[in-house]
């Protein structure tokens, strides 16, 4: 069964070998675009036969949970500028017959790294909950206005 195709939603995947997301923070430019090394990293997995690539966490915005503080590792961002590197990645992955799902997030929420909390990044989540790495710190709940503002223009896939 491992080498048989599978359909997820409306996406046909050539086999059932999936690469779970792995943080690629060191392979991202400060502006949130992917480096060529990041693209090459994923392409090598497709060459090895992976049917589905699930990318590293990609932020849809960078204002609510500010991550670009001095010394923080840049994260992929969904921006007009970053879309070219994401498009190049998708084109490269597809050229080897693999599919790609991009893992989107507004931020790390309750799973924000403790070291970033210690450096002043304020965790934000869907509700006020203790953070995983610093349980004494409570993530701030998103407001309805923040959700509405940051979901404009988004549409369901498929």
pLDDT tens digits along 24-81: 878 888 888 899 999 999 999 999 999 999 998 887 776 776 654 555 566 777 777 8
Residue 71 domain flag:
yes
Residue 69 domain flag:
yes
Would you state the pLDDT for residue 154? 55
Confidence class for position 89, pLDDT limits 50, 70, 90: very high
- Whether pLDDT at 117 is above 50: yes
Residues 99-109 have a mean pLDDT of 86
CATH of the domain at 60: 3.30.750
Q: Which residues contact 17 (CB under 8 A, 6 or more apart)?
A: 2, 3, 49, 50, 51, 52
- Whether pLDDT at 151 is above 70: no
Computed over every residue of the chain, the mean pLDDT equals: 85
Residue 75 domain flag:
yes
Would you state the pLDDT for residue 158? 43
Residue 38 domain flag:
yes
Most confident range, picked from 53-62, 93-102, 111-120? 93-102
Residue 157 domain flag:
no
Residue 35 domain flag:
yes
Residue 30 domain flag:
yes
Can you tell me the distance from the alpha carbon of 64 to that of 96, in angstroms, rounded to the nearest whole number? 37
Residue bearing the bigger pLDDT, 143 or 8: 8
Q: Which domain holds residue 65?
A: 6-106
Beta bridge partners of 54: 101
Number of domains in the chain: 1
Residue 43 domain flag:
yes
Is 95 in contact with 82 (CB distance < 8 Å)? no
pTM of the model: 0.76
Residues 118-133 have a mean pLDDT of 90
């Amino acid at each position: 069964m491992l080498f048989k195709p599978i359909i997820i939603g409306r996406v046909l995947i050539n086999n059932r070998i999936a690469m779970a997301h792995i943080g690629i923070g060191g392979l991202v430019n400060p502006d949130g675009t992917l480096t060529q090394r990041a693209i090459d990293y994923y392409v090598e997995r497709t060459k090895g036969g992976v049917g589905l690539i699930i990318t590293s966490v990609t932020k849809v915005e960078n204002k609510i949970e500010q991550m670009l503080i001095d010394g923080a590792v840049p994260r992929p961002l969904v921006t007009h500028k970053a879309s070219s590197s994401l498009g190049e990645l998708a084109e490269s992955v597809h050229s080897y017959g693999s599919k790609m799902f991009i893992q989107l997030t507004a931020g790390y929420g309750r799973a924000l790294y403790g070291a970033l909390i210690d450096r002043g990044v304020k965790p934000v989540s869907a509700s006020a909950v203790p953070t995983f790495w610093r349980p004494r710190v409570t993530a701030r709940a998103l407001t309805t206005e923040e959700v509405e503002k940051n979901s404009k223009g988004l549409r369901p896939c498929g």
